[in-house]
Amino acid sequence: MLELSTPIKYVKRVGERVAEALAKRGVETVEDLLYHLPFRYEDRLNPLPISGLKAGAMASVIGEVRGTALLKTRSMPLFEMTVGQGLSTVKCMWFHGEYLRDKFRVGQMVALYGRVEASRSTAGRFKMIQPQFEILPAQDGPEAEFVRLEMGRIVPVYEFLGGTTAWGAKLTSRWLRRVLWGIFEELEEKTGAVPETVPAALLKRLKLPGRMEALRSIHFPEAGTPMVELMSAATPGHRRLIFEELFYLELGLELKRRRMREREGTAFVTNVKVREAIKQVLPFHPTAAQKRVLGEIADDMRKPQPMRRLLQGDVGSGKTIVAMQAALVAIENGYQTALMAPTEILATQHYLSARKLLGNVLSPRTGKPYRVTLLTGSLDEATKREARGRIFRGETDLAIGTHALIEDKVDFENLGLVIVDEQHRFGVQQRFRLMKKDTALDPDVLVMTATPIPRTLALTLYGDLDASVIDELPPGRTPIVTRRTTEERAEDVWGFVRKQVAAGRQAYIVYPVIEGAKDDQPELDFAHDVEEQGSEKAAGKKAKTSKGKAAKTEKLFESKKPLRAASDMYEELRKGALAGLRLGLLHGRLSADDKEVAMRRFQRGDTDVLIATTVIEVGVDVPNASVMVIEHAERFGLAQMHQLRGRVGRGAAKSYCILMTGGKVSEQAEARLDAMVRTQNGFELAELDLQQRGPGEFFGTRQAGLPEFRVANLIRDRALLELAKKEASRFAEQPDPAISHEEKDAVWARLKQQWQRRYGLVEA
Ligand code: ADP
Ligand code: MG
């Protein structure tokens, strides 16, 4: 008897070998497969007549195979097939279509799906290039029992799960339908085989269907279900599953918030002395926004509960100085502060500027200088050991470092405050490890990010944090002039760079890869974003969502010629167009020392032009730099370009961002470049970025430890997210009296199990 937890290999038509393939996609049980939902549907109940097709639209067509041919064109073999309905026909073409030669027989019925184009050769007729297809079973053929699954109904289409059957056939949508149909038949024999997960009273109030009903209606929609609702995941069945998923997420976050409020932290004091300490290090007047935000932070720090605050502020808004002030509050109270940065370069930069800031003053509390320690992964062992020792013995007030800082080896004497810079680069899990570092009391935590996150999403992602926003730039900034150009105009660009350097300014030139010809190895920090844009390697492994599809189409646009790369161009420019200027090279494969040297030289003005990869993306601050050239800008994500552009325009001089494209630019890349030229507003750019990439990619799900949703989509389902949040806090606070004890217990039990399995976030 099937149950949700039954291993998938016991399901009819699956077996050992297929189960292995499915396991690679995370499908291990009957339940997993049931939650592999169709990503689109075909209306084979009311199929479109060929005569009603429109050029340019996506359409599904059912027709009879009239003829096929394999043509040998000069560039590639082309497979053609004519499909007809009565007198109307549509022509289909597949490039490199040898593999289709023996696939079809004249007279067979096929279902096609793809973009319809007007055929140039024959007036009034249509063609479809590389449509998806399914051969439909014949009424009297060996597969007649499946006719009702494939025809005369709304048919679900699934993302390919990978793998083949025992006899080598692909695990197509058709195969999945048959397997799923079988599963439903078996499950429905026994009532309660699919236990309900949302209390009945709640479902009733929200007018949502039960779990089994929802799943069935999504996989095998009844005739009459509006196609629009199906395609946008808006049927009651979809809404029910989405709600469930978000409800449990929000319930978990609610629980975390509640636990946090019960924890004990340090109540710092902010008396005159502390304020004096802050005042004496401030290099400028804080903006109103910086003052307000520091006020919010100070309020938190005074409370006996540990602070959990998210500080959002666009690039260049001046988060660092706010962080330093918070650090001084902790230090002047006799506690240590840890400041974590996502890269060594950034950690080093923070270290240098902290030393500059704090170097010439004495602490009013101790009458001695502040003690700052740098701890990054690539320091030599002895230095690291010494740094750890100082941190442990309390001989350091401010420890600045990268992840190395949070390794288990590091212990603080009395850690009072943890500051995490550029949080979007860190995992949720890492944040947790750090928070639990101290033994007696929970340190306060301030998380800073330059990724502007729409409020509802921030609440979900950082549901356990309070949020502050710096929504104002320091005075005296002139807007950055952003221009697009192509590789062909490179000489002009270099000429412009020379002119700026002659005027005493500095420039960055950024490349997507370190070495082009050799291996196209993307810079580590950048690997993730390359994947989103569909690098060769990545596109193959992720075709999971429709976003994955977009990435694949984008891939088609990539040119075959090697990318211009940082170290190659460094040589080329040094000998050629920028000869005579002082050039620096900075990328992730340099040793930590070399990186630091390169960065320091640029900071001091000893290099004019820094040729780099995206290692400089976050946080680097050199106010004299006024030009940011990004080569192969078509390859960069919006968030990245925005961050890179944020490296200039930090001083009073007029600054420029030049986006150079080399090779073909996809439609999506075009939209990104346009947006960059049009606006400098981080929130606006984030919104577009979110749309283009979807929330998982936008937040870097895999990196950030954000749950991968099975059904929900944080952008599409914002309204349901709000609803789920409301209902979750109501459930945690005082559930509906109509909800039974058993139901309540079941919800908590499920929450525990879910968070453990899916999010791995359950802690004591
Ligand atoms: P981000 O928020 O991107 O981390 P930074 O903290 O690096 O920004 O600040 C960007 C630049 O603005 C730095 O050079 C910093 O010294 C300067 N800055 C910050 N606040 C002010 C202010 N209130 N007045 C003038 N300059 C400021
Ligand atoms: Mg910063």
Expressed in angstroms and rounded, the spacing between residue 427 Cα and the centre of ligand 2 is 18
The DSSP secondary structure of 292-340, one letter per residue, reads: HHHHHHHHHHHSSSPPEEEEEE-TTS-HHHHHHHHHHHHHHTT-EEEEE
Q: Is the CB of 472 under 6 A from ligand 1?
A: no
Q: Which of 407, 438, 470 is the last residue of a domain?
A: 470
Q: Enter the pTM of the model.
A: 0.65
- Does residue 689 fall inside a structural domain? yes
Please tell me the residue having the least CA distance from ligand 1 atom 19: 318
Higher pLDDT, 752 or 286: 286
Kindly tell me if the per-residue pLDDT of 399 is higher than 90: yes
Q: Are residues 402 and 492 in the same domain?
A: no
- Does residue 295 fall inside a structural domain? yes
Q: Is the CB of 621 under 6 A from ligand 1?
A: yes
Average pLDDT estimate for 664-691:
86
Average pLDDT estimate for 338-362:
88
Q: Based on the number of CB atoms within 10 Å of its own CB, is 15 exposed (0-12), middle (13-18) or buried (19 or more)?
A: middle
Q: Quote the strand ranges of 354-480, DSSP E.
A: 372-375, 398-401, 415-420, 444-449, 466-470
Q: Which of 470, 493, 517 is the last residue of a domain?
A: 470
> Which residue among 279, 310, 320 has the greatest number of ligand 1 atoms within 8 angstroms of its CB, and so is best to mutate?
320
Higher pLDDT, 293 or 685: 293
Residue-wise pLDDT tens digits, 524-541: 233 233 323 333 233 333
Which amino acid does the sequence have at 601? R
Distance of alpha carbon 93 from alpha carbon 78, whole angstroms: 7
Q: Are residues 62 and 190 in the same domain?
A: no
Tell me the ligand closest to 345's alpha carbon. 2
232 secondary structure, DSSP code: T
pLDDT given at position 420: 87
Please tell me the residue having the least CA distance from ligand 1 atom 25: 474
Q: Is the CB of 287 under 6 A from ligand 1?
A: yes
Tell me the ligand closest to 311's alpha carbon. 1
Kindly tell me if the per-residue pLDDT of 415 is higher than 70: yes
Q: Is the CB of 114 under 6 A from ligand 1?
A: no
Q: Strand pairing partners for 82?
A: 67, 91
Expressed in angstroms and rounded, the spacing between residue 622 Cα and the centre of ligand 1 is 11
Tell me the ligand closest to 353's alpha carbon. 1
Distance of alpha carbon 148 from alpha carbon 171, whole angstroms: 19
Higher pLDDT, 458 or 309: 309
Q: Is the CB of 650 under 6 A from ligand 1?
A: yes
Ligand 1 atom closest to Cα of 323? 6
Kindly tell me if the per-residue pLDDT of 232 is higher than 60: yes
Q: Are residues 103 and 33 in the same domain?
A: no
Kindly tell me if the per-residue pLDDT of 197 is higher than 60: yes
pLDDT given at position 13: 86
pLDDT given at position 54: 87
pLDDT given at position 650: 82
pLDDT given at position 8: 92
pLDDT bin (cut points 50, 70, 90) of residue 334 is: very high
Q: Which of these, 306, 309, 297, 308, lies nearest to 266 by C-alpha position?
A: 306
Contact status, residue 97 vs residue 110, Cβ threshold 8 Å? no
Distance of alpha carbon 46 from alpha carbon 50, whole angstroms: 12
pLDDT given at position 478: 78
Query: Tokens for 138?
Result: 């014949």
Expressed in angstroms and rounded, the spacing between residue 343 Cα and the centre of ligand 2 is 12
Q: How far is CA 433 from the centre of its chain?
A: 22
- Does residue 343 fall inside a structural domain? yes
Q: Is the CB of 451 under 6 A from ligand 1?
A: no
Tell me the ligand closest to 343's alpha carbon. 2
Expressed in angstroms and rounded, the spacing between residue 314 Cα and the centre of ligand 1 is 11
Instruction: Give me the percent of the chain exceeding a pLDDT of 90.
Output: 44
- Does residue 214 fall inside a structural domain? yes
The per-residue pLDDT of the chain, averaged, comes to 83
pLDDT given at position 764: 28
Kindly tell me if the per-residue pLDDT of 593 is higher than 60: yes
pLDDT bin (cut points 50, 70, 90) of residue 295 is: very high
Contact status, residue 429 vs residue 705, Cβ threshold 8 Å? yes
pLDDT given at position 761: 46
Q: How many residues does the chain have?
A: 764
Residue-wise pLDDT tens digits, 260-269: 778 888 899 9
What total of structural domains would you count in the chain?
5
- Does residue 702 fall inside a structural domain? no
pLDDT given at position 719: 86
Contact status, residue 314 vs residue 646, Cβ threshold 8 Å? yes
Q: Is the CB of 290 under 6 A from ligand 1?
A: yes
pLDDT given at position 611: 95
Average pLDDT estimate for 205-226:
95
Q: What are the helix (H) ranges across 409-560? A: 428-435, 455-461, 490-502, 516-519, 524-532, 536-541, 546-556
pLDDT bin (cut points 50, 70, 90) of residue 462 is: low
661 three-state secondary structure: strand
The DSSP secondary structure of 149-167, one letter per residue, reads: HHSSSEEEE------B-TT
Expressed in angstroms and rounded, the spacing between residue 322 Cα and the centre of ligand 2 is 10
Tell me the ligand closest to 647's alpha carbon. 1
- Does residue 475 fall inside a structural domain? no
Please tell me the residue having the least CA distance from ligand 1 atom 12: 318
pLDDT given at position 288: 96
Residue range(s) defining the domain that contains residue 109:
46-151
Least confident of 42-46, 554-558, 583-587: 554-558
Contact status, residue 474 vs residue 284, Cβ threshold 8 Å? yes
Question: ∠ CA(6), CA(9), CA(11), 5° rounding?
Answer: 70
Distance of alpha carbon 687 from alpha carbon 736, whole angstroms: 37
Q: Which of these, 5, 4, 2, lies nearest to 13 by C-alpha position?
A: 2
Please tell me the residue having the least CA distance from ligand 1 atom 26: 474
Q: Please state at what angle helix 173-189 crosses helix 211-219, rounded to 10 degrees.
A: 150
Q: Are residues 25 and 52 in the same domain?
A: no
Kindly tell me if the per-residue pLDDT of 703 is higher than 60: no
Q: Are residues 210 and 314 in the same domain?
A: no
Least confident of 307-321, 405-419, 577-591, 598-612: 405-419
Within 10 Å of residue 227's Cβ, how many Cβ atoms?
Answer: 15
Distance of alpha carbon 421 from alpha carbon 528, whole angstroms: 19
CATH number of the domain that residue 499 is part of: 3.40.50.300
Kindly tell me if the per-residue pLDDT of 663 is higher than 60: yes
Contact status, residue 448 vs residue 290, Cβ threshold 8 Å? no
Kindly tell me if the per-residue pLDDT of 454 is higher than 90: no
Higher pLDDT, 760 or 21: 21
Q: Is the CB of 666 under 6 A from ligand 1?
A: no
pLDDT given at position 748: 92
> CA torsion, points 424, 430, 436, 441, in degrees to nearest 10?
-20
Q: Are residues 94 and 201 in the same domain?
A: no
Query: Tokens for 416?
Result: 């009072």
Q: Are residues 454 and 525 in the same domain?
A: no
Kindly tell me if the per-residue pLDDT of 757 is higher than 80: no
Residue-wise pLDDT tens digits, 101-124: 899 999 999 999 888 998 876 666
Site of tokens 């309660």? 192
Q: Are residues 129 and 197 in the same domain?
A: no
Q: Are residues 373 and 509 in the same domain?
A: no
pLDDT given at position 158: 92
CATH number of the domain that residue 120 is part of: 2.40.50.140
> Which residue among 285, 315, 317, 622 has the greatest number of ligand 1 atoms within 8 angstroms of its CB, and so is best to mutate?
317
Q: Are residues 519 and 380 in the same domain?
A: no
Q: Is the CB of 662 under 6 A from ligand 1?
A: no
pLDDT bin (cut points 50, 70, 90) of residue 559 is: very low
Q: Which of these, 89, 93, 38, lies nearest to 70 by C-alpha position?
A: 93
Ligand 1 atom closest to Cα of 290? 23
Please tell me the residue having the least CA distance from ligand 1 atom 18: 318
Contact status, residue 348 vs residue 496, Cβ threshold 8 Å? no
Higher pLDDT, 219 or 714: 219
Q: Rounded to 5 degrees, what are φ and ψ at 515?
A: -125, 130
- Does residue 635 fall inside a structural domain? yes
Q: Are residues 725 and 683 in the same domain?
A: no
Kindly tell me if the per-residue pLDDT of 147 is higher than 50: yes
Q: Are residues 36 and 50 in the same domain?
A: no
Question: ∠ CA(373), CA(377), CA(379), 5° rounding?
Answer: 65
Tell me the ligand closest to 469's alpha carbon. 1
Query: Tokens for 594?
Result: 């070399």
- Does residue 764 fall inside a structural domain? no
Q: Which of 412, 438, 470 is the last residue of a domain?
A: 470
Expressed in angstroms and rounded, the spacing between residue 384 Cα and the centre of ligand 2 is 24
Least confident of 74-88, 423-437, 454-468: 423-437
